[in-house]
Amino acid sequence: MTLIKTGCGILLSVMTFCAQSYAKDSLPELTGSYMGQTPPGDIPIAFAPGLVSTEHWEYGGTFTPDLQEFYYLNFGENDKQQMVVIKNINNQWQKAVMSPRQGTPVISPDGKTMHLGKRYKTRTETGWSEIKSLGAPFDELPIMRLSVSLKGTYFMDEFKSDFTGAIRYSRLINGKHQQPRLLAKNINAGKSFHPFIAPDESYLIFDGKREGGYGDSDLYISYRLQDGSWGEPVNLGDKINTDAWEAAASVTPDGKYLLFNRNVGSTSFENVDIFWVDAGIIETLRPKI
């Protein structure tokens, strides 16, 4: 979803990093897992306040499988959206601007691909490749976010100009992705956006505004049933969802935490933060067989 922010930009100095051009931001001494942050419990809290989550707009956080790199979007100079990386180098977290926004970053489970909607980058010896296009049959779809399973199945949203959306999937068969198909009506009963597929495809998390929700967009989860179909979506509840906009969830590669976005500003979305919470709710809500 395209959001609008007003406010001041950030002045950054220039450095060279991983054979790419970055802008470096000074950080306090931060060591340990998850940038030295105290892990959350079952009540969401802002992720890395003052470092990642600020009084401005931050969106779409994703970790690499080794948990040593964290990518997200924010606003930089001249209120331009940009991709930022915070990387653990020699047990010290360093923050740098990677590029202007090229899409919403989602790292594949094997860590080899950074998906950016209908485009992507691949891991190289020195960092990431130049941006590439997925090509047909994806180039004509208005994809906002694409998530991929260990089987190579793509799950993607379809964001239209009238602010309606639906989630499609595309299986990888004999090395080729098939034509995207709409998920079942129980998933696409409302406006459905920002899919996150579990690596083993056992559950799907997405967001949307549906009957019985808590106000604006809420986070929902659907579990894969024994017959291969998707179960009725379950609202993640009032500890995670509020009357504000919650969206763009993902689970950290170790399965411990749920990351998502929440609008803590006005309806102009000038202050959107990345929150995190213990991912135990995924098992709590899973249907008992």
pLDDT digits (tens, 9 = 90+) for 114-137: 999 999 999 999 999 999 999 999
Report whether pLDDT(161) > 60: yes
Averaged pLDDT for residues 184-189: 93
Asked whether the beta carbons of 147 and 157 are under 8 A apart, the reply is no
* Cα–Cα distance for residue pair 202/271, rounded to 1 Å: 33
Q: What is the pLDDT of residues 29-53, one digit of tens each?
A: 788 899 999 999 999 999 999 999 9
* Cα–Cα distance for residue pair 10/58, rounded to 1 Å: 13
| Average pLDDT for the chain | 89
* Cα–Cα distance for residue pair 195/267, rounded to 1 Å: 23
Is the pTM higher than 0.85? The answer reads: yes
Q: Which domains does the chain have, with CATH numbers?
A: 102-285 (2.120.10.30)
Q: Of 71-80, 155-164, 215-224, where does the model show the most confidence? A: 215-224
CA dihedral 236, 237, 242, 247 (to 10 degrees): 0
Report whether pLDDT(260) > 80: yes
Asked whether the beta carbons of 167 and 179 are under 8 A apart, the reply is no
Averaged pLDDT for residues 52-72: 96
